[in-house]
Amino acid sequence: MDSGLVTSLSGALAQSRRIETIANNIANAETVGFKERDLVFEEALESAHQKDTRSDVDPGPLSKSELLARPMRENRPVLYGADFTNMKEGGMRSTGNSFDLAIEGNGFFEVLSPKGIRLTRAGNLSLDAQGQLVTRDGFLVLGPKAAGITVSTDPAQQNGGSASSRAIRVGNGNFEVDVEGNISRITAGARENVGKLSVVQVENPKALKLVGQNMFEAAPEAFVKTPDAPDMRAPASVDAATSPLPEPKENPLGPTNVAPRVHQGMLEGSNVNPVEQMTRMIQAQRLYDQNLKIMQSQGDMTSRLSDLGKF
């Protein structure tokens, strides 16, 4: 009986986590470049029952047919398996402000945060006191790496070293950004190229970690593709057969072989669909209630069982 209680409890907990995720999506429905998240649940197959029958050698993940061949277990608590970010593009909104940039297609701006280089799609930029392009938090927006310079992946190195030299100085006056991210400054009718925005592509968006402030941190398995290092998965370096992550069949960000386009005067809104979120919320609430109901009936059954002894 106890294991049944645990199962329902895990269900209720999972649904309340889900509500937390939905609350965050709704709270961020107006956040520039925000991507909605959803929790995916999985059954806790690897429960204690199985562990004692196993040898010390980990056989690795089981195939679906192997799993189905196993005898049914009565105890299957729910685990939050993974949550994933829905990387679908958010709606574009015209703002008419030349400091607002939106990326169409698979692409991220590179931003120098105090903890190292981060990626963002929030293009609501501004200038700092030195006339350099910065994000809302004052983090430098970076241009492409100069040819031949290798930037260390160590955050400390990135900060002190060459990364800050990739800042884009726009200075005073009007400027224009073309679809490729080239920035030109217009002074008294004359056009002068002042730099280029680094727009990198991500082949495996699932490996992006959210760090808040509209930024993502890219794990190495995200396969960040920069214009100067066009293919992180070059056949020579990664053997297709043993590659830990197969090429995602469908990249929700869009294909990486299509160059992203930068649009000035536009902002990408969040991709949160409030209707969907509200529906999911109702669903999660009902499932939560049902799990509680089951817990309650289990409790009733246990108490009746103990009543039996009184006869």
Partner 1 sequence: MLNTLNTAATGMTAQSRQIENIANNLANADTTAFKKSRTDFQDLLYHNLQAPGAATSATTQNPTGVQIGVGVRVAGNVRDHEDGTLKPTQRDLDIAIEGNGFLSIQKPNGEIAYSRDGSLRLGAEGRIETISGYPVVPEIQVPPNSREIHISFDGRVSVKDEQGAQQEIGQIQLTSFANPSGLQAEGGNLYNVSPASGAPVPGTPMEGGFGRVFQGYLESSNVNPTVEMTDMIRAQRMYEMNSKVISTADQMMNALNQIR
Residues in 161-180 that interact with partner 1 by CB under 8 A: 171-174
Tell me how far, at minimum, the Cβ of 110 lies from partner 1, in Å.
Answer: 18
Tell me how far, at minimum, the Cβ of 127 lies from partner 1, in Å.
Answer: 4
CA distance 36 to 223: 22
Task: Return the number of the residue (19 or 259) whose C-beta is nearest partner 1.
Answer: 19
Other Cβ atoms closer than 10 A to 23:
12
Task: Return the number of the residue (129 or 147) whose C-beta is nearest partner 1.
Answer: 129
Residues 64-83 that bind partner 1 (CB under 8 A): 80-83
Contacting residue, 210, 233, 259, 302, with partner 1 by CB under 8 A = 210
Task: Return the number of the residue (61 or 71) whose C-beta is nearest partner 1.
Answer: 61
Q: What token pair was written down for 232?
A: 């992180």
- 62: Cβ–Cβ under 8 A, 6 or more apart, which residues? none
Q: What token pair was written down for 298?
A: 């289990």
Task: Return the number of the residue (50 or 146) whose C-beta is nearest partner 1.
Answer: 50
| Residue 49 in contact with partner 1, rule: CB under 8 A | no
| Residue 96 in contact with partner 1, rule: CB under 8 A | yes
| Residue 212 in contact with partner 1, rule: CB under 8 A | yes
Q: What token pair was written down for 76?
A: 């299957």
Of 42, 9, 35, the C-alpha closest to 211 is 35
CA distance 175 to 267: 17
Tell me how far, at minimum, the Cβ of 51 lies from partner 1, in Å.
Answer: 12
The amino acid at 148:
G
Q: What token pair was written down for 248?
A: 């995602």
Strand partners, 220: none
Contacting residue, 37, 115, 233, 261, with partner 1 by CB under 8 A = 37
Stretch that binds partner 1, among 57-65, 142-150, 151-159, 192-200 (CB under 8 A): 57-65
The amino acid at 177:
V
Which residue reads 């009007």 in tokens?
174
Residues 256-285 that bind partner 1 (CB under 8 A): 274, 277-278, 281-282, 285
Tell me how far, at minimum, the Cβ of 284 lies from partner 1, in Å.
Answer: 8
Tell me how far, at minimum, the Cβ of 128 lies from partner 1, in Å.
Answer: 6
> What are the C-alpha distances in Å from 29 to residues 97, 124, 207, 238, 259?
21, 16, 23, 39, 27
CA distance 18 to 78: 12
| Residue 197 in contact with partner 1, rule: CB under 8 A | no
Residues 227-256 that bind partner 1 (CB under 8 A): 244-245
Q: What token pair was written down for 161?
A: 């070293």
| Residue 194 in contact with partner 1, rule: CB under 8 A | no
Tell me how far, at minimum, the Cβ of 211 lies from partner 1, in Å.
Answer: 7
The answer to whether 36 and 277 are in contact (CB under 8 A) is yes
At what angle are helices 274-308 and 2-27 packed, to 10 degrees?
160
Strand partners, 200: 108
Task: Return the number of the residue (147 or 188) whose C-beta is nearest partner 1.
Answer: 188
